[in-house]
Structure 1
Amino acid sequence: MNDSWDESADVVVVGFGAAGACAAIEAADAGARVIVLDRFTGGGATAISGGIVYAGGGTQQQREAGVTDTPAAMAGYLREEVGDVVAAGTLRRFCEQSAGMIEWLSGLGVPFDARRCPYKTSYPTNRHYLYVSDSEGSTPRGHRVLARGTSGRVLAARLTAAARARGVAVHTQTRVEHLVTDSGGRVTGVECRTLRGFPALAHRVLHRWSVKPALYLPPVGRALHRPVTWLERRYGRPLRIAARGGVVLCAGGFVFNRTMMREHAPDYRGGLRLGTPGDDGSGIRLGVEAGASTAHLDRVTIWRFLSPPSAMLGGLLVDRNGHRVCDESRYGAAIGEAILRSPDAKAWLLLDAAVLAECRRQVWSQTLWFQRWQAIWLLTAGRTTGRTPEAAARRAGIDPTGLATTLAAYQPAAPVGVAATPDPAGKPAGLVRPLATPPYSLIDVSVRNRTAVPAPMLTLGGLRVDEDTGQVLGVAGLYAAGRTAVGICSRSYVSGLSLADCVFSGRRAGRSAAISDRGGLHAHRG
């Protein structure tokens, strides 16, 4: 190899979240010597996520819970969400391998559980770990990693341990700045800046302090993160690493890159950016500089969950004109998108006194702490009330005539125990409530109403890749996975689909990079 290289490996993985860890594990299991590089300390957005993996087709947990599911049924539903963002064969393969994916993760020490949540929710409590995490409403495919609170940290930790146990070398606090290519344009390595000694300790502490503020208080998060970037520039020493088989980009999306967000997805503002400061589009930029193309950078998912408590789904979601926005039982991303496309991106949920009382009874039993304070606010100070729907509408700034008309069209579907007219928006009959008991409440659930309930969002598009191998199209020796690449969830999102795609695409890219042996540089074990 070239003497100018400081280190060399068969496969170099950039980013150590779920996609990067899965790529490293598969490459190592295929016999490759693997080096992983992470700008911070690993885990990425996975570590701060809910730890939901979308899986079906008859997983062990589904079977234990008495749930009947098949790969064909899973693919039939996902086709509605995925559209043509990936080929039919790729989606079919994803679904057929889904149950095996959970088994593979379990074999790496990732714990799952079959306790099924009996009601519709955005995220189950610590009593439940299998739940309906999409808009279908009947088949639970959301597999929550077994842990109290948000479970992503456990998923990240177990994948990290599995990679290290295979001899994967992990260089943390190492920022990749450029890809190195040969005269033919093939990617042969990376150029980085890495930290050692005291600056590394300060860098680690400052980054950790900035992650949560970056989510909830962006200006504060940016201020706290400036010293992190300064330390990288001031104290980072150059490091060049050769990659014999290939480089795999797993550096996340670009939700923290304000310039890219304004350029590609200007409508998506005011949401809570779900990720870390590492989701700055750097992986996408590296690929583009090497000659790659991108797709679906305009696709961003923004979530507005109405539940928990589950009784909230009995309300009526309307815009400023009083018109129905959508079926209230749909998944939060579908509701968020519908609200975003409503006039002024505003929406309100109409409840009557009976439904409001039911919601209040459910708050303590159906919520975790981070859901609870939001629900309490919405059900108390976050609502506008009136003795009639029209009175509440006038106070909230909604057209009272439009609301009355919408409510009249909704009411025939409401009587319990009667052969009712189907709900005009398609809400399941079991979730429809009469909304006939005064006083009435209108709750502001606009996606840009961050005062009470922030709307999380993440980017879905990325580098275009070969769907059989994960190789970046047009760039030899370069692979991409997770939110750095176009994948299963690049058109639409349901809970757990991004992590599932990270596992699916990460394994694919790592395996492909490991077997791209150009002359017997390493042995293979599969």
Structure 2
Amino acid sequence: MEATVVIVGFGAAGACAAIEAAESGADVLVVDRFTGGGATAISGGIVYAGGGTRQQITAGIKDDPEMMYAYLRHETRDAVSAATLRRFCDESAGQLAWLEDHGVPFDATLCPYKTSYPTNRHYLYQSGSEHAHPDPAPRGHRTHAPGTSGGTLYAALAEAALARGVRFLPQTRAVALESPGCVVPLSQAGRDSGTTPELICSTLRDAPLWARFAHRTLHRWSVKPGLYLPGLGRALHRAVARIEQRHGRELRIRTESVVLAAGGFVFGREMMREHAPGVRGLRLGTHGDDGSGIRLGTEAGAGARHLDRISLWRFLTPPSALAGGLLVDRDGRRVCDESLYGAAIGDAVRACPDGKAWLLLDRDVFREARQQLLSQTLWFQRWQSWWLFTARRTSAPTLAKLARRAGIDPDGLAATVSAANLARFKGAPDPTGKPAELTRSLERAPYSLLDVSLRAVPAPMLTLGGLTVDEDTGEVLRPDGSPIPGLYAAGRTAVGICSGSYVSGLSLADCVFSGRRAGRHAAACHAAARHVAACQDQEPAAVRHSREEGVENDGQR
């Protein structure tokens, strides 16, 4: 089998790479271990975009690329260069429009309250910690569909790719790269270099119908409900792996460029033990996120960075009233601003003694939160809130009794509550910087502590690091910074915009940004190589003979 550009992985990054490469005139083949979608299809479908998107303008939101850059430079840290981040911000509104042009629906209905994920009534919201910085603007653009809408985003991109002639080979696992880095055109490779770059795969395309059906069905169940029942997910995946082992057959694909877009490694046990020992949480992704794409790159000589960066989330909202509580550790000390994004709160809780933290509420805040439960949550948020409000709640008529029941230092808790209430009474800034409109006085008994420790309720997590790439082309780089010609990476297989820290929508936005970049340049590399080959074929015989003779004489000297 042959293709000028082969893409490994058919999630958001792979689909965007395929679309760009196909629109640039390349013959594109996508392979996916399962049936496509990856982590994108089970995500919330949030794309982080700003700088004046159509939805922001419709909602009356003031935003520009400079305001977006000023916020993201705090969040992204050293993940990418300033020039790349600026380009990401400058192109952001156009990138969202590109998604719309390729069938992804968005909506301008603004969410009026703080939340980790909006309900089906709202599709534009502040998805990070923008409110804690100057010039905040909502930049979380949720794909317009009921429930978690990542499936709708993926389906639109997949349809757009296939409509442009992209070939898709599902249930095909990439195993190895042979002769990586060769950019000689396929028509020239065997004749001039004696080598043909190949992607070696294991495929079920010729397996019995029952085996392909069982593989597809068992994998779907290993993802959902396997996401919420990890033991079930692991058992189902073992059956999937046995089908692959028994019925998989080798397939070699000759190609000129390979784009690795196979996701991260949150399901890669060995890589997690090596780079994130001791980190436990609810793995966001599929069993395809096992680090196989990253390993293909490193085995070809690529470098990797930020593999130790794991985003572990602890969301306190919705309901939005919970942002008025006080997050404390076992010493009763304030942990952080309770209105921050879940990844920032997760980092803060992880740094607490024994990773334990509690959210303190008084009667009024708790009552308001319960009243908001039905109107501000989707089913999975409602289940988590119900668990916190019942199984993980401790209550008492006084702060002292409450602290003793929960195993918290009473004096420390009393001092924390007194300082926060006094600041609010005097109109002074909150000690942690929480916006004044989100602060509440906690004065009415009974008091409650919700156990939000990382082990109390499973904390969602995903990996952020990956292969090092050229930020202008997406080409994979060796540890010394030199490129591996013809090998590209995108999405969570590569270091990208969100590899420093994460806010909702930034990973999918980076998948689009990096996927388009890789696909565009992979196709351009192919076109350039074809042009060189054509020029060599058209070179007059006498000139070619004279040039080859000169090279031979140089060698003799």
Which of 397, 400, 405 is residue 390 of structure 1 equivalent to? 400
Correspondence for 2:491 among 463, 474, 482: 482
Query: 8 Å contact 2:46–2:140 — kept in the other structure?
Result: yes
Kept in 2, the 8 Å contact 1:248–1:509? The answer is yes
Is 1:136 the equivalent of 2:125? no
Aligned-partner Cα distance in 2 for 1:377–1:281: 33
Long gaps (5+) in structure 2: 185-195, 479-483, 535-557
Q: Deviations over 1:22-81 (max 9, x none)?
A: 000000011000000000000000000000000000000000000000000000000001
Report deviation, 1:214.
3.3
8 Å Cα contact 1:188-1:477 kept in structure 2 = no
Which residue of structure 2 aligns with residue 473 of structure 1? 477
Displacement of 1:477: 1.1
Structure 2 partner of 1:496? 505
Post-superposition offset of 1:182: 5.8
Query: Aligned ranges for residues 56-135 of structure 1 at < 5 Å?
Result: 56-135=50-129
Report the counterpart of residue 413 of structure 2 in structure 1: 403
Matching residue of 2:165: 167
Q: Give the conservation status (yes or no) of the 8 Å contact 1:188–1:247.
A: no
Structure 2 SS opposite 1:241: strand
Q: How does 1:341-356 map to 2 (within 5 A)?
A: 341-356=351-366
Identity rate of aligned residues, in percent? Answer: 66
CA contact (8 A) 1:23 1:508 kept: yes
1:257 corresponds in structure 2 to 268
Pairing partner for 1:365 from 375, 396, 405: 375
Deviates more, 1:101-110 or 1:219-228: 219-228
Whether 1:53 and 2:47 are equivalent positions in the alignment is yes
Amino acid corresponding to residue 520 of structure 1 in structure 2: H
Deviation string 1:268-290 (CA, Å, 9 cap, x unpaired) is: 21x10000000000000000100
Equivalent in 307, 312, 319 of residue 317 of structure 2 = 307
Instruction: Please say if 1:332 is aligned against 2:336.
Output: no
Structure 2 residue aligned with 1:462, among 451, 459, 466? Answer: 466
Cα distance change on mapping 1:27 and 1:183 into 2, 3 Å? closer
Once residues 289 and 101 of structure 2 are traced to their aligned partners in structure 1, the CA distance between those partners, rounded to angstroms, is 29
**Residue 204 of structure 2 corresponds to residue 206 of structure 1:** no
How far the C-alpha of 1:449 sits from its partner, in A, is: 1.4
Equivalent residue in structure 2 for 1:23, among 17, 24, 31: 17
Displacement of 1:93 in angstroms is: 0.2
Report the equivalent of 2:187: none
Aligned to 2:450: 443
Q: After alignment, is 512-521 or 64-73 more displaced? A: 512-521
Deviation at 1:210, TM superposition (A): 1.1
Q: Partner amino acid for 1:437?
A: R
Higher alpha-carbon Rg:
2
Structure 1 position 133, deviation (Å): 0.2
Q: Distance in 1 between matches of 2:296 and 2:59?
A: 44
- Residues 421-473 of structure 1 show CA distances to partners (whole Å, capped at 9, x for unaligned) of 110100000111110000000000011213xxx21000000000000000000
Q: Distance in 1 between matches of 2:451 and 2:183?
A: 53
Residue number in structure 2 paired with 1:431: 438
Aligned match for 2:428, one of 402, 421, 424? 421
Normalised to the residue count of structure 2, the TM-score between the two structures is 0.89
* Paired amino acid for 2:52: G
Instruction: Please tell me whether the aligned partners of residues 180 and 300 of structure 2 are also in contact (alpha carbons under 8 angstroms).
Output: no
Deviates further, 134-143 or 167-176: 134-143
Distance 2:106 2:476 in 1: 33
> Match of 2:193?
none
Q: Which amino acid aligns with 2:446?
A: P
Q: Is the 8 A contact 1:413 1:432 kept in 2?
A: no
The one-letter code of the counterpart of 2:389 is L
Amino acid at match of 2:302: A
* Aligned counterpart, 1:225: 237
Aligned equivalents of 1:414 and 1:442: distance in 2? 21
CA–CA distance in 1 between the matches of 2:348 and 2:183? 43
Task: Specify the SS of the correspondent of 2:144.
Answer: coil
Tell me the equivalent position of 1:317.
327
Match of 1:274 among 272, 278, 284: 284
Shift of 1:233: 1.3
The offset of 1:242, in angstroms, is: 1.1
Of 41, 44, 50, which residue of structure 1 is paired with 2:35?
41
Tell me how many residue pairs correspond in the alignment: 509
Cα 1:392–1:105 change in 2 (3 A) is same
> What is the CA-CA distance between 1:519 and the residue it aligns to?
2.5
How high is the TM-score relative to the length of structure 1?
0.95
* Residue of structure 2 in register with 1:505 after alignment: 514
Amino acid aligned to 2:146: R
Distance 1:45 1:447, change over 3 A: same
RMSD: 1.5
In the alignment, structure 1 segments of 5+ residues that lack a partner are 1-6
Moved over 4 A (4+): 182-187
Alignment correspondent of 1:243: 255
Deviation, 1:185, is 9.7
Deviates further, 253-262 or 513-522: 513-522
Give the letter aligned to residue 175 of structure 2: E
Call closer, same or farther: CA 1:213–1:258 in 2, change over 3 Å: farther
Give the deviation of 1:295 after TM superposition: 0.3
| CA-CA distance at 1:184 after TM superposition | 6.4
Amino acid at match of 1:511: R
Alignment of structure 1 residues 139-150 onto 2, 5 Å: 139-150=137-148
Q: For 1:515, what is the secondary structure of its paired residue?
A: helix
Q: CA deviation at 1:83?
A: 1.1
Q: How far 1:136 moved relative to its partner? A: 1.2
TM-superposed deviation, 1:521: 8.8
Task: Give 1:522 deviation, angstroms.
Answer: 11
Q: Secondary structure at the match of 1:519?
A: helix
**Secondary structure of the corresponding residue to residue 22 of structure 1:** helix
What amino acid is the match of 2:505? G
The residue aligned with 1:215 is: 227
